[in-house]
Structure formats: structure tokens, C-alpha cells
A = this chain, B = another copy of it.
Amino acid sequence: MSSGRCAACRYLRRRCTQDCILSPYFPSNNPQRFASVHRIYGASNVTKLLQRLPTHLRAEAADSLYFEAQCRLEDPVYGCVGLIFLLQQQIHSAESQLIKTQAEIAVMKSQTQHPQTQPFRAISGSNNLLLQQSDNDANLSFSNQVSSGFI
């Protein structure tokens, strides 16, 4: 028997009124979604947060709260901040690789323009100093991009 209550009201064992603020974002067919958010934030905090937002932004907010809640349940120590660290590492790795590749191109171009200096195959390993400098530049460009002084 369906009571017609949303997942939140069902979880909280209360009547689900027509103006229930949680109802559109926590449908009865997905009880786990509200259970996760409730466990991390509590129903009162989620309600307050949604109430402060204009209606057209509430669905996105409920989605992002659910995402963060799931991350925190899976990783109680770091939550989705762990994901941010991981992405930062990936960016740094991709950036470093890009700078090395661009340096390789620069060397190849200079070789194409002045082919008499060295044979091509010997060049790719010969500019370690340039690559190290490029690595340092990559480090600088991505430092403090995310932490913003919070942690």
C-alpha cells in the first residue's frame, strides 16, 4: 500500500503535505537517496538549505548534497575532498606531460629549422634542464588552485 508520502516524510514518519519542500527531490521510489542525505546532514539542515534557495536551483542543490553525502559515506575521512585531491593529481600529471611534450616539439622544430646541429633521435633525451624547468612551472600553475586556504 502506498501512502503517497515522499521518501523524506516516509523516513521521518510524518505526513507529507502538498507544500513539502523535500518531496520533489526525494521521491518515494528512491528511499536510499534521502537516507544518505539525512545521515550526513540531517533533515533539518537539508530543509533549511533548500528553503534559502530559489525553487529553480533546489533540484541541483539536492543532487549535489546527495553526491557529497554518498562520498562521505564511502570515505568518512575525506568525503569528496578525497576526489578533489585525486583530480588535482591528475591535472598535475596531464599538465606535466603536456609541458614535456611541448618542449619536445620546440626542440624538434628547432631541429627542422637547423637540421645540421644534431641528428633527430639524439635530441629527445637531451633537454632535461628544459623539462625540469617546465615541471616546476606546472607545479606553480596548479598550486593553491583548489585548497583556497580552507584546509
Contacts and interface: CB of A to CB of B under 8 A. Distances in A.
A90 B20 CA distance: 39
Interface stretch (A2-10, A61-69, A128-136): A61-69
A98 interface: yes
Interface residues of A, number: 51
B45 A83 contact: no
Contact of A94 (B42, B79, B94): B94
A79 B90 contact: no
26 contacts: A40-B41, A40-B49, A42-B44, A42-B45, A53-B76, A57-B77, A60-B78, A61-B78, A64-B77, A66-B150, A67-B147, A68-B68, A68-B72, A68-B81, A84-B87, A87-B87, A87-B88, A87-B91, A91-B91, A94-B95, A98-B98, A98-B101, A101-B105, A105-B105, A109-B120, A112-B112
